[in-house]
Structure 1
Amino acid sequence: MAAENPSVSGVAGRYATALFELARDDKSVDAVKADLDKFAAMLAGSPELNRLVRSPVFTAEEQGKALAAVLAKAGIGGITAKFLAVLTANRRLFAIHDVTRAYAALVAKFKGEATADVTVAEPLSDKNLDALKSALKTVTGKDVALNVNVDPAIIGGLVVKLGSRMVDSSLRTKLNSIKHAMKEAG
């Protein structure tokens, strides 16, 4: 399955594929995804946890003990906790971001969903998110999961990447186009 999808290649792809197959056999694909998403959110919110995950200074044993405590406190157990322990023991915990992304891609493919990366200047309301999902479903014929990134530098509008297609309706791009046209005209 990993070979069919270039976004799940390499070390992260192999780990994500193994985790996905375990979760599928255990009928816990969604629960594992929820646990991975929870762990990713914890990483995003904690510089200390990020340092633990990324720093080669900590031994696998130190990482394992700290990770076990963090997972227990967060209520993450089962397959996900065992998987993270294996990543830690194999000194691959630093790849968790890529593994999480690859696992999400495998889940989306399994469910017949498409995934779109959306960049916006400020967070979208639930109403706007639903409208965007609906519009993308009309275009693709599939349910679309959104990875939303907020980047104030685009000023306004949005940038949508869906597979090999990209639509850039950001204000920054439009202003750059006008600026470029004015340079050519002048």
Structure 2
Amino acid sequence: MSSQLRGISARSLEDVLSAVSAAQGDSAETGRGLFGVVSILDSAPALRRVLTDPSTESDAKVKLAESVFGGKVSAGALEVVKAAVAGRWAAGRDLPDGIETAGVVAFVKAAGKGADDVETQLFEAGEIVASDPELRAVVSDRSIPTEPKVTLLGRIFEGKLSAETLALVQQAASARLGSFERVLASFGQVVAEQGQRSVAVARVAYELGDDEKTRLAAALKAKYGRDVHLNIIVDPEVVGGIAVSVGAEVVDGTMSSRLEAARRQLAG
């Protein structure tokens, strides 16, 4: 998501996200419209090339975007798209990638104070899919069109997730930037970034109590210098201790890992 865009694309994304913040109207409708635009751009490489052509004046690209998307998406979504095509992108694919990130942020805006719940629910939905081999196989099968996957996920999670989270889970089914699990995790990172938080995944042997979670979150905040959203995985194979990953950094203090290290040493 946003962290994958570099250089001029990252700078253009900042302007796009500012447009999301300024957009009037229903933020969820803005998000849905932006996801729809992403789908159109993915299926229309010629249009994508024109809208990202650095030799074409920004005003001309904005007018083209208005003619293509005007009346098909909400006014708020159209304003965001206009900001996107007015920017400069290092690669044609960066434009829909940036608009997809903007769509995620629009749903964060729609969630308001419930954004922290969106982070938790995204993680839990990912765990549910990963724990069901048949469901995971269907969602991960690129030969299956996106729409049936969206319908299936809607049936499974309707009423169990907030409307904002469900929209993100269904968008992840398109797996534009990798596997369903990878995209869902990247959406979680975008949600966390909007709250200026990091995301930590803790693998433990038993369900932590509220006090333990509070102490762990405080310790991680002290280490990383910012608030941390904590996701917990209870894994019976963890003999004791705790393994925590924050981004690419993993701190493994479990007894099982120490036993495995000792076994390898003994085996030479």
**TM-score for both structures, normalised by structure 2:** 0.48
Equivalent in the alignment of 2:214: 130
Counterpart check, 1:96 vs 2:97: no
Equivalent in the alignment of 2:167: 81
Aligned CA-pair RMSD: 4.2
- Give the superposition deviation at 1:38: 6.1
| Equivalent of residue 172 in structure 1, options 256, 259, 262 | 256
Equivalent in the alignment of 1:152: 236
* Secondary structure at the counterpart of residue 152 of structure 1: coil
Structure ID, larger Rg: 2
Equivalent in the alignment of 1:23: 107
Equivalent in the alignment of 2:75: none
Q: Which has the higher strand share?
A: 1
**Aligned-partner Cα distance in 2 for 1:118–1:18:** 28
**Aligned-partner Cα distance in 1 for 2:200–2:165:** 27
Equivalent in the alignment of 1:105: 189
- Give the superposition deviation at 1:65: 4.2
Alignment of 1:47-66 (within 5 A): 49-56=135-142, 58-66=144-152
Structure 2 stretches lacking a partner, 5+ long: 7-92
Mean alpha-carbon deviation: is it higher for 170-179 or for 125-134? Answer: 170-179
Could you say if the C-alpha distance between residues 160 and 48 of structure 1 is closer, same or farther in structure 2, counting changes exceeding 3 Å? closer
| Equivalent of residue 139 in structure 1, options 223, 232, 246 | 223
Query: CA offsets, 1:71-114, max 9 Å, x none?
Result: 54546546843872x665x5759833222211111122221212
More RCO (CA 8 Å, sep 6+)? 1
Task: Name the aligned partner's letter for residue 3 of structure 1.
Answer: Q
Percent identity at matched positions? 23
8 Å CA contact 1:2, 1:17 repeated in 2: no
8 Å CA contact 1:53, 1:94 repeated in 2: no
Task: Name the aligned partner's letter for residue 155 of structure 1.
Answer: V
Query: CA offsets, 1:43-89, max 9 Å, x none?
Result: 356555434423456444543444444454546546843872x665x
Structure 1 stretches lacking a partner, 5+ long: none
8 Å CA contact 1:118, 1:148 repeated in 2: yes
8 Å CA contact 1:54, 1:93 repeated in 2: no
**Aligned-partner Cα distance in 1 for 2:177–2:131:** 17
Task: Name the aligned partner's letter for residue 2 of structure 1.
Answer: S
Task: Name the aligned partner's letter for residue 102 of structure 1.
Answer: S
8 Å CA contact 2:158, 2:166 repeated in 1: no
Equivalent in the alignment of 2:4: 3
8 Å CA contact 2:104, 2:168 repeated in 1: no
Could you say if the C-alpha distance between residues 158 and 106 of structure 1 is closer, same or farther in structure 2, counting changes exceeding 3 Å? same
